[in-house]
A and B are shown apart, each in its own frame.
Chain A
Amino acid sequence: MDWWVWVILVLVALVVLTTVTAVVQRRRRRGRVIGLGDAGRNDTP
């Protein structure tokens, strides 16, 4: 393959990696609101 094909592949891989990292980090930083305990819970509707 020509050298410029490798350059494009590397750039595409970098963009994908950066996007995935940003999405994962955003989800992690969003935080959760967790309800614990059994009051009112009915797992078998």
Chain B
Amino acid sequence: MTAPPPTLLLRARELTGRPVVTLDGELIAEIKDVVFERAGGRIAGFTLRNPGLFSRSRKDTVPWNGVHGVGRDALMVTDETVLAPIEELAPRQAARKGDVLDDRVLTDNGRDLGRVVDVVLQSGTGLEVVGYEVEASEALGTAGRRVLIPLPATVAVSGENLIVPAAATEFVAEDLTGFGAAVDAFRARLREG
């Protein structure tokens, strides 16, 4: 019997700027944006920019099925043939509308929890969105501090607001340690109804 792969939590913005390297060791780009599917929260891929301070955005992307591995220091791809046109992954207009950073998080009973500053990802068999890091509002009793809010498997968006079940406020964490357990407990609560 094989053991399940170890899970690791990381912030999406930690991936921005990470080099994209082929298995031949060639640096081909840097990660620009992280793209995920709202249904299921799985990472769909990454948009790219050329390396360097005044670099330009690229018109190609790395779809998730072209990723060989996400390491601490680089995103590994087999070779440049895995790259796909940006229109296939994140068309310009959809990408502009879909950016969740700076959006407000509301509970489904109408409480404003704060503004999104980052998105928490969990690695395992894939890479999945499991939470938002928000600059908390008064509603959480930790106004101004950054806290982590767990998400259900499907991420709901209404205009510029991100909707979470009200029960999410019971599973708020202040750092990544133990946040994975909070996500599991939150999702189990939702399944129980």
Contact = CB atoms under 8 A, between A and B. Distances in A.
A36 B35 contact: yes
Nearest to B152: A40
Interface string A3-45: 0000000000000000000000100111111111111111101
Interface stretch (B37-45, B134-142, B169-177, B185-193): B37-45
Interface stretch (B10-18, B62-70, B77-85): B10-18
A8 B12 CA distance: 44
Interface residues of A, number: 18
Chain B binding site: helix, strand, loop or mixed by DSSP? strand
A40 B33 contact: no
A30 B118 CA distance: 11
A36 B17 contact: no
Nearest to B34: A33
Interface string B158-190: 110001000000000000000000000000000
Contacts of B33: 31-34
A30 B99 CA distance: 12
B74 interface: no
Interface stretch (B1-9, B21-29, B90-98): B90-98
Which residue, of A25, A29, A35, A38, has the highest number of chain B Cβ atoms within 10 A?
A: A35
